[in-house]
Each structure stands twice: as C-alpha cells, then as structure tokens.
Structure 1
Amino acid sequence: MWIVLALLSAVFAALTAILAKVGIEGVNSHLATAIRTVVVLVMAWGMVFLLNVQHGIGDISRKCWIFLILSGFATGASWLCYFKALQMGETSAVVAVDKLSVVLTLVLAIVFLHEEFTLKSSLGAALITAGTWMMIK
C-alpha cells in the first residue's frame, strides 16, 4: 500500500509544480506560499477530524512534538524557497534540483538514522545527481 501512496504523492507533487507555476504569475511568492499553506492546513485538520484521531494529540511525546515542529519549520523553509525558485526559473529545472532532496535524505538517513548504505542506494543517488545535472545544463 505504501508504494501506491508514494506514487500518488509523486503525481500530486508534479501537479503542485505545474499548478503553482501558473498560480504565482504576478503574485508575490511568499504570499502564494501562505495561501497554499492555509489550504494544506485545512486539508490536514479536515482529515484528522474526518478520521476522528484528534484525541491522540495528548499522547504525543515531548520529543515527537519537538521533531514535528522542527519538521514543520523545514517544510515551511522548503516551500518558501521552492515557490521563489519556481517564480524565477524554469519549472523542469527547479523540480529537478528540488528532487536532489532524495540524495540529501539518503545521506542524512545514513548519518543520523544509521540506515544502510548499499551499492543500490549509492548507484541510485549517483543517477539522480547525474539526472539533475543534465536537467539544469
């Protein structure tokens, strides 16, 4: 099931780039990010209440709160940079560079989460890096 959700995530991410590129025309990128964020906020809390899981908020540990908040800051910074880059550059190049996050995530997962670094993952990272380089040249 995770693969289906991951593929849907990729489809929606692709749509995000195209819709955002059209939507930010003539709009300050930070204002556009704020509008997008409100929509995401409503959708996320809507799912919480739809699935009736709001009662679990009290069960979240202090450590989880800290890391979720830090993740939120990272997401916000990412979105602000992404929208500004979309406004300034070609969509295909911006998205390609943005997807270097896969390589950076791999490295961070190895360093901080002690995940395994395999020949397959190193080859994948190298190919993503090469593909990104080709997209921006």
Structure 2
Amino acid sequence: MRTMLSSWQMWALLSAGFAALTAVFAKVGVDNINSDYATLIRTIVILGVAALIVTATGQWQAPGAVSSRTYLFLVLSGLATGASWLCYFRALKLGDAARVAPLDKLSVVLVAVISVVFLGERLSGANWAGVGLIAAGAVLVAWRG
C-alpha cells in the first residue's frame, strides 16, 4: 500500500478518473447556469478542499519560505488553469461531454511538445508514437461523422 501511495502512475490514474467525473458532473451542472459562474462555484469548492487538506495534514508554509520564482510559476499556472476551466466549462455548455473531453485531452500532446522544447525532456520513438495516437484518437472521438 505504501508503494502505491508513492507511485506517480497511481496518482495519474486517479487524476484521470476524477477528470472523467469532472466532465460528466460539469456537463450536468452547467445545464441551467452560466458557464463562467459555474466555474466560479467549482473554484470555490476546490479552494475549500485544498485548504482543508493542507490544514489537516499540517502542510501550511510561511509565505516568505517560498521563492519568488516559485510564486511566479504558480501564479502563471493558476492563470492558465483558470483560463482552461473557463474554456472547458464553456465548451461543455455548448457541446457533448463525450466530444469536449477528448479535445481537452489534446493538452497531453501539447505538454509533450512543450516539455521537450522548453524543459529539455526527451521522449523515445515509442513515446512520440503514443503522443501521435493520443492526438489522432482525440480528433476521431471529437469528430462528428
């Protein structure tokens, strides 16, 4: 059990499962509400849950202990997350969850490319084939044919 809790693969699979639930729950949730307001409600819930987790696990840190570089990139990440959520909820309001979610997952392809170009990460030929299959699969699932 201890090994599972320290496995990035397990946490990534849990993330995928929760992301799937997010799409389904959000599609129903935006049915009779403005998508931007729905995003605000979701964000408040996430803020509360994160604060509870940090409090319950005693992980609060002194603000001065965090570097300005860390703050900069966390703020940029937060802005990107907010923009992503606003766009995602708008897409769910307008489209089918089964088609919106796969296109949203093109982020996997973009992460691979950006990580190689800007972070110096390396992917094997098999990894790139997987990235290509993810891109093709996302487009095929989203395509209304």
1:7 corresponds to? 13
Note the aligned Cα RMSD (angstroms). 0.9
Residue in 2 that maps onto 1:54: 60
Q: How is 1:24-63 mapped onto 2 (pairs within 5 angstroms)?
A: 24-63=30-69
Deviation readout 1:32-70 (Å, 9 max, x if unpaired): 000000000001111111111113543111000000000
CA distance in 2, matches of 1:96, 1:102: 10
Question: Aligned pair 1:22/2:31, yes or no?
Answer: no
How far apart are 1:82 and its partner, in Å?
0.1
Structure 1 segments, 4+ long, off by >4 Å, are none
* Unaligned ranges ≥5, structure 1: none
Structure 1 distance, partners of 2:26, 2:90, is 11
Residue equivalent to 1:96: 102
TM-score under structure 1 normalisation?
0.96
Bigger drift between 48-57 and 33-42 goes to 48-57
Give the TM-score normalised by structure 2: 0.91
Q: Which residue of 2 aligns with 1:68?
A: 74
